[in-house]
């Protein structure tokens, strides 16, 4: 009887633990505190964040981490008081792997650091990153928001670029170029119509299919892309590239040429 009771208690505790774990990892959006461009450094030293070091940096967004010729997409996550544990599917050139890591942020003398520690016993490592400063506040303010009538906007993030040049009739000429995994490219030029979400590019492909690419402009000036059936990707991108891997933050807006 006592053994049976203990088994029931243990089983109940296990179910409770599983429920809490499932609740913890249901959210896969990386908190805002972790967003930004991070570069390896040592504590007490700010990251250089110069162009020649761009291939050792990583950019953290809400649901993905971009790095040199690669990307990690968050699959599950658990948030603690001072740490973040996540599991992500990663690709770089011809390699694929699952990263299981613990992230911790700390601020020291005005600098923000991110410690990334492997939770995989078979592949232990720990690295320290420093947050690269974004554009000055006045530049972000000037660049924020969606383009006004006739106002061209351009973005650059690593090897990805976007140009939107609105026309008087509500359409816009768009030019997208993005070099991704294994140097595979997404490239598209054309005319898109204005929508409530941003712009919609539509085109009939040679095989009779329809490419429908949504360029989503958020209220702060950030840009993401929606190509839900990947018809645009299959025609305009290489095998290891896709439009939905492209995203621009407001701070990545640049002067148009």
By CB atoms closer than 10 A (0-12, 13-18, 19+), residue 175 is middle
Which fold would CATH assign to domain 28-131? Answer: Lipocalin (2.40.128)
pLDDT at 149: 52
Strands (E), the chain: 36-40, 58-60, 64-67, 70-79, 84-92, 95-108, 111-118, 126-131, 153-157, 160-166, 171-179, 185-194, 198-204, 210-217, 223-226, 247-248, 253-254
pLDDT at 19: 39
Of 115, 116, 64, 114, nearest to 90 (Cα)?
64
Which is more confident, 36 or 142? 36
What residue ranges do the domains of the chain occupy? Answer: 28-131, 137-254
pLDDT at 49: 81
pLDDT at 27: 62
Of 68-72, 202-206, 215-219, the range with the lowest mean pLDDT is 68-72
pLDDT tens, 124-155?
Answer: 999 999 998 753 333 333 344 555 555 788 99
Quote the mean pLDDT of the chain.
Answer: 80
DSSP string, 58-86: EEE-SSEEEETTEEEEEEEEEE-SS-EEE
As a whole number, mean pLDDT of residues 88-110 equals 89
pLDDT at 242: 92
**What is the pTM (predicted TM-score) of this model?**
0.49
């Amino acid at each position: 009887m006592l053994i049976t009771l203990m088994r029931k208690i243990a089983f109940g505790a296990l179910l409770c633990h599983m429920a809490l774990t499932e609740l913890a990892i249901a959210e896969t959006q990386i908190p805002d505190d972790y967003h930004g461009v991070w570069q390896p450094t040592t504590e007490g030293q700010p990251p250089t964040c110069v162009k020649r070091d761009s291939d050792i940096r990583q950019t953290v967004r809400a649901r993905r981490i971009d790095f040199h010729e690669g990307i990690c997409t968050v699959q599950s996550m658990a948030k603690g008081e001072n740490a973040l544990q996540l599991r992500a599917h990663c690709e770089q050139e011809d390699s694929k792997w699952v990263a299981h890591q613990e992230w911790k942020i700390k601020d020291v003398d005005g600098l923000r650091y991110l410690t990334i520690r492997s939770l995989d016993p078979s592949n232990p490592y720990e690295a320290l990153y420093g947050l690269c400063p974004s554009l000055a506040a006045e530049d972000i303010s000037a660049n924020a928001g969606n383009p006004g009538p006739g106002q061209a906007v351009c973005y650059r993030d690593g090897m990805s670029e976007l140009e939107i040049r609105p026309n008087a009739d509500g359409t816009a000429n768009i030019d997208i170029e993005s070099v991704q995994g294994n140097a595979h490219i997404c490239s598209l030029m054309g005319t898109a119509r204005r929508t409530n979400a941003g712009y919609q590019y539509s085109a009939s492909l040679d095989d009779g299919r329809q490419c429908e690419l949504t360029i989503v402009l958020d209220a702060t000036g950030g840009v993401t892309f929606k190509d839900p059936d990947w018809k645009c990707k299959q025609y305009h991108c290489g095998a290891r590239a896709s439009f939905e891997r492209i995203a621009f933050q407001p701070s990545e807006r640049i002067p148009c040429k």
